[in-house]
Amino acid sequence: MYNEINEFLYPFFQIGFLLCVIFLVIWNRVLIVRVVKLRREKKILLESGGDEELTRAIRCHGNFVESVSLAVIIPIILFFQKEFVIFSFLALVLLCIGRYTHSEGLKNIDEDIQYRRRGMYFSRYSNYVSLVGLAFYITHIVMSF
């Protein structure tokens, strides 16, 4: 019965995973464009020139790149293991929600710190889901000997 359910849901998790990857690529692009637009408006070529809004936009993109590049490694590994694709999907959904929420909270100078914090929590939960999936995968490998 488990195999039948897994066979039925597997394509949905695959598509969901790929849609999350597409979202992360697009959101990275949005953050880059946000920085470039502010640099052009304020005519600042390097650093932030002391401008708070530009500093926040740069940090939004920096935080995104720093966290996503590492957080997506384990879900990619799990994606190629049919039994554990659910973990990769859930981890990336949480990561997408977390990074979006965090960057939207950080972009405003008069920010609501709760919005930013919520984004960090979702990103942390994504890491937990990835690690649980990896633990199951390692257990699966050990048990198959």
Highest mean pLDDT among 37-46, 77-86, 110-119: 77-86
- Domains with residue ranges and CATH for the chain: 2-143 (1.20.120.550)
Whole-angstrom distance, CA of residue 43 vs CA of residue 129: 43
Mean pLDDT of 75-85: 89
Residue indicated by tokens 């981890």: 91
Whole-angstrom distance, CA of residue 118 vs CA of residue 145: 42
Q: What is the pLDDT of residue 73?
A: 93
Q: What is the pLDDT of residue 105?
A: 85
Q: What is the pLDDT of residue 8?
A: 83
Which DSSP letter does residue 69 get? H
Higher pLDDT, 127 or 53: 127
Residue indicated by tokens 């942390």: 124
Q: What is the pLDDT of residue 3?
A: 66
Share of the chain above pLDDT 90, in %: 54
Whole-angstrom distance, CA of residue 37 vs CA of residue 76: 32
pLDDT for residue 2 is more than 60: no
pLDDT for residue 5 is more than 80: no
> DSSP secondary structure string, 6-56?
HHHHHHHHHHHHHHHHHHHHHHHHHHHHHHHHHHHHHT--SS-TT-HHHHH
